[in-house]
Amino acid sequence: MPPITALLHTSNAAPRLGRALETLLPCAEILIVDHHSADATARVAREYGARILPADSGATTNHYLNQARHDWILCLDPSESISEGLQAALFEWSCLPTFNGEGTPSFSMFVREQIDGNWRTQPAPETRLIPRTWTAWNGPLPAYDPSSMALKGELLRFSHP
């Protein structure tokens, strides 16, 4: 069973971080890269058992992957959480045999986004579950991989805390 590390980059995310962290039951580790928060972000993260690393302006995203304890990384934004359906899919996924060697896949998730009080499903899934060896990034999140397999369930993106 491949354990998962959840990786989130934060900056003054205390009002919304708890909602994100409480949905990460399928993850064996939560790793927070904190970008100099001045609010209660670190306290909230510690309450959920997260390991907190201070952001290093010279570090690449891959540097933080090397800090993870597990080979599979679930990347989230603090304004996102995973639905119960996606939690179930991740638990099922973790029962699959470990992927090794060339051609290690990535996995994507459909996103439902709260926009002006309404929920809209984004047309394309976003790559979010990646192996530690991942090298393609779009800021702190993985770049889209068109060959990634979509998991059932949804990633929920909130516009307000």
* Whole-number Å distance between alpha carbons of 7 and 10: 10
pLDDT at site 2: 85
pLDDT at site 40: 97
Residue 76 token pair:
């989230």
What CATH number did the domain enclosing 84 receive? 3.90.550.10
Number of domains in the chain: 1
Neighbouring residues of 146: CB distance < 8 A, sequence distance ≥ 6: none
pLDDT at site 98: 65
Question: What is the mean pLDDT, run by run of 10 residues, along the chain of 161 residues?
Answer: 91 96 97 97 97 91 92 96 96 76 80 92 95 92 94 92 64
pLDDT at site 103: 60
* Enclosing domain of residue 40: 4-157
